A and B are shown apart, each in its own frame.
Chain A
Amino acid sequence: MKYYFFISLIFWGLAWWLNTKLSRLPPSRTIRIASPLLFGSTLILLWEATIISFKVSPVILPAPSSVFVRLINSVPTLWIDFVQTVIKGAMSGYLIGCLSAFVIALLVNNFKFLERGLLPIGNFMAALPIVGTAPILVMWFGFDWQSKAAVVTVMVFFPMLINTIQGLQMSDKIQRDLMKTYNASAWQTLTKLRLATAMPFIFNGLKICSTLALIGAIVAEFFGSPIKGMGFRITTEVGRFALDMVWAEITIAAITGSMLYGGIVLIERRITFWHPSQRGRA
Chain B
Amino acid sequence: MTRSFLPITTIAIFILFLWYCLSIVLNSSWAYDRAARNSQTLTFKELVHDTWSQKKPKLPAPHQVFSEMWETTFNKKVTSKRSLVYHTWITLSGTIAGFLFGTILGIVLALAIVHDRATDLSIMPWIITSQAIPILALAPMIIVVLGSMGFTGLLPKAVISMYLSFFPIVVGMVKGLRSPEILEIDQMKTWSATKTQILWYLRIPRSIPYLFTSLKLGIAASLVGAIVGELPSGAISGLGARMLAGSYYGQTIKIWSALFAAAILAATLVTLIGLIQKIISKRMMLQV
Which A residues have a C-beta under 8 Å from some C-beta of B? 16, 19-20, 22-24, 31-32, 35-36, 38-40, 59-61, 113-118, 120-121, 124, 127-129, 131-133, 135-136, 138-140, 210-211, 214-215, 218-219, 222-224, 230-231, 234-235, 238, 241, 243, 246, 249-250, 253-254, 257-258, 260-261
Evaluate contact between B258 and A131: CB separation under 8 angstroms: no
Most buried by A among B126, B133, B224: B133
Q: Which residues of A contact B223 (CB under 8 A)?
A: 129
Evaluate contact between A35 and B133: CB separation under 8 angstroms: no
Evaluate contact between A139 and B134: CB separation under 8 angstroms: no
Evaluate contact between B224 and A124: CB separation under 8 angstroms: no
Q: Which residues of B contact A250 (CB under 8 A)?
A: 133, 137-138, 141
Task: Give a binary string over B248-287; 1 marks a CB under 8 Å from any A CB, 0 the rest.
Answer: 0010100110110011001100100000000000000000
Most buried by A among B116, B121, B138: B121
Task: Report if A136-B256 is in contact (Cβ < 8 Å); known contacts: A19-B122, A238-B140.
Answer: yes
Q: Which residues of A contact B252 (CB under 8 A)?
A: 136, 139
Q: Which residues of B contact A211 (CB under 8 A)?
A: 131-132, 134
Known: A128-B220, A131-B227. 8 other contacts (CB 8 A): A35-B118, A121-B8, A127-B220, A133-B259, A135-B246, A139-B250, A223-B231, A258-B132
Which residue of the partner chain B has the closest CB to A260? Answer: B132
Q: Which residues of A contact B244 (CB under 8 A)?
A: 135, 223
Evaluate contact between A218 and B134: CB separation under 8 angstroms: yes
Instruction: Report if B149 contacts A (CB, 8 A).
Output: yes
Evaluate contact between B232 and A132: CB separation under 8 angstroms: no
Evaluate contact between B121 and A23: CB separation under 8 angstroms: yes
Task: Report if A235-B232 is in contact (Cβ < 8 Å); known contacts: A129-B266, A132-B243.
Answer: yes
A64 to chain B: closest CB distance in Å? 15
Q: Which residues of B contact A32 (CB under 8 A)?
A: 121
A117 to chain B: closest CB distance in Å? 3
B137 in complex: contacting residue of A16, A127, A234, CB < 8 Å:
A234
Which residue of the partner chain B has the closest CB to A57? Answer: B148
Evaluate contact between A40 and B126: CB separation under 8 angstroms: yes
Q: Which residues of A contact B42 (CB under 8 A)?
A: none
Measured CA separation A231–B134 after assembly (Å): 11
Evaluate contact between A36 and B125: CB separation under 8 angstroms: yes
A-B contact pairs, 8 of them (CB 8 A): A23-B121, A31-B121, A115-B7, A127-B220, A129-B224, A131-B228, A135-B247, A218-B136
Evaluate contact between B228 and A231: CB separation under 8 angstroms: no
Size category of the binding interface on chain B:
35 or more
Task: Report if A117-B137 is in contact (Cβ < 8 Å); known contacts: A35-B122, A129-B266, A131-B227.
Answer: no
Instruction: Report if B182 contacts A (CB, 8 A).
Output: no
Evaluate contact between B148 and A60: CB separation under 8 angstroms: yes
Task: Report if A258-B118 is in contact (Cβ < 8 Å); known contacts: A59-B148, A121-B12, A128-B263.
Answer: no
Q: Which residues of B contact A238 (CB under 8 A)?
A: 140-141, 144, 232
Give the residues from 224 to 244 in chain B that come closer than 8 angstroms, CB to CB, to chain A.
Answer: 224, 227-228, 231-232, 239-240, 243-244
Instruction: Report if B104 contacts A (CB, 8 A).
Output: no
Evaluate contact between A230 and B137: CB separation under 8 angstroms: yes
Q: Which residues of A contact B250 (CB under 8 A)?
A: 139
Measured CA separation A23–B120 after assembly (Å): 9
Instruction: Report if B11 contacts A (CB, 8 A).
Output: yes
Task: Report if A121-B11 is in contact (Cβ < 8 Å); known contacts: A131-B228, A139-B252.
Answer: yes
Evaluate contact between B7 and A117: CB separation under 8 angstroms: yes
Q: Which residues of A contact B262 (CB under 8 A)?
A: 128-129, 132
Evaluate contact between A215 and B136: CB separation under 8 angstroms: yes
Measured CA separation A22–B223 after assembly (Å): 40
Q: Which residues of B contact A210 (CB under 8 A)?
A: 132
Q: Which residues of A contact B6 (CB under 8 A)?
A: 113, 117
A253 in complex: contacting residue of B26, B126, B133, CB < 8 Å:
B133
Most buried by B among A16, A20, A128, A249: A128
Measured CA separation A23–B262 after assembly (Å): 45
Instruction: Report if B117 contacts A (CB, 8 A).
Output: yes
B88 to chain A: closest CB distance in Å? 12
B2 to chain A: closest CB distance in Å? 11
Evaluate contact between A113 and B255: CB separation under 8 angstroms: no
Evaluate contact between B137 and A22: CB separation under 8 angstroms: no
Which residue of the partner chain A has the closest CB to B14? Answer: A117
Q: Which residues of B contact A253 (CB under 8 A)?
A: 133-134, 137
